[in-house]
Structure 1
């Protein structure tokens, strides 16, 4: 079984062409990849995730309720209290 691509951005310095080829291949053949050594602080990524979830809670929840109210989704009467409109996978490297 093939493993999904893992790209080490530190290698952009010195092995730029090979690293860019890995990114191109990952985008074309996988549609995603894991990035190592990107230099983005984890507290910043946590804040972005928090703001994203807050945005979707405000915007998408209201749209969903409007669809239910307009009977576009007949039969769905339950109150929606726990939505995760964003789906991500975070697997820190060892």
Structure 2
């Protein structure tokens, strides 16, 4: 899941762009070609008909927004993204530079329970939101 950062990066406003939407219920080779094209042109895409219930998506977006709205120091408490944790990297090669923040999880529920203490203001809610998302 990708969510836009609620904060400005280096004082600059982020421009909203319309990302390609890919319907996963389509014919497999066509879907594959659309994914490749979207990755080449944008680096990101949205998907439709993925099977994840809307209420889980809404709850995950809310938790994600809450996490990424924290200060840099607070986000680093989630651990550096060696394998799993919080990361922030500079991206772009051809004048399209910027930063991307991300949070990587192990799909083991015990790992999520431990990490949620440093990620969310309400670790119990965070675990309840994330667990069904990874078990789909």
TM-score, normalised to structure 1, is: 0.49
| Structure having the higher Rg | 1
Higher RCO (CA < 8 A, seq sep 6+) = 1
